[in-house]
Homo-oligomer: A and B are copies of this chain.
Amino acid sequence: MPAKSKPTRRSACPLNVSLEILGDRWSLLIIRDLMIRGFRTYKEFLGSDEGIATNILADRLQKLEACGIISLQPDPTDRRKVNYRLTKKGIDLAPVLTELVLWATRYEDTGAPPALIRKMQKNRKQFLAEVRQRWRNGGSSPIIPGGRDRSE
């Protein structure tokens, strides 16, 4: 097999490049679960409110790993489990997620946890620093102050 050449880009515009990697309805939700909720496993992702299908989840995890946004490691205590983690490249998407969240809360009806939003708005820089700090510590507890998003 002659090593399939990766499909050529539509254009070299940086926004286009980002969209070819992240421009779908699911990838950033998986990244959210890793970044904010402290999820680590396939099963946890499946449990998110949006209800991703198993085949789509498997496909996205594969693509995200292929482009270096997440990494896999076997669970030391249960060999059935795979632990997914954000790489540096992955955690560096925090500003993108933040801006998308702030935009939505400004213009749409959302069930955003008010404590989290206040934190983001009040001091964006510090919030991002906290996200990164927690990532360095390998934190797997959700960053959401008041716990889980209970709305709907």
Contacts and interface: CB of A to CB of B under 8 A. Distances in A.
Contacts of A101: 14-15, 18
A18 B106 CA distance: 11
Interface string A10-32: 11111111111111111011001
B18 A104 contact: yes
A151 interface: yes
B18 A25 contact: no
Interface in A62-111: 68, 89, 92-93, 95-111
> Do most interface residues of chain A lie in helix, strand or loop, or is the interface mixed?
helix
Contact size class for A? 35 or more
A17 B92 contact: no
A5 to B, nearest CB: 15
Closest 3 CB pairs of A and B: A12-B111, A11-B49, A14-B104
Interface of A: 10-26, 28-29, 32, 48-51, 68, 89, 92-93, 95-112, 117, 149, 151-152
19 contacts: A11-B48, A12-B110, A12-B152, A13-B149, A14-B104, A14-B112, A17-B104, A17-B109, A18-B101, A18-B103, A19-B28, A19-B29, A23-B25, A92-B103, A92-B107, A93-B103, A95-B99, A96-B103, A98-B99
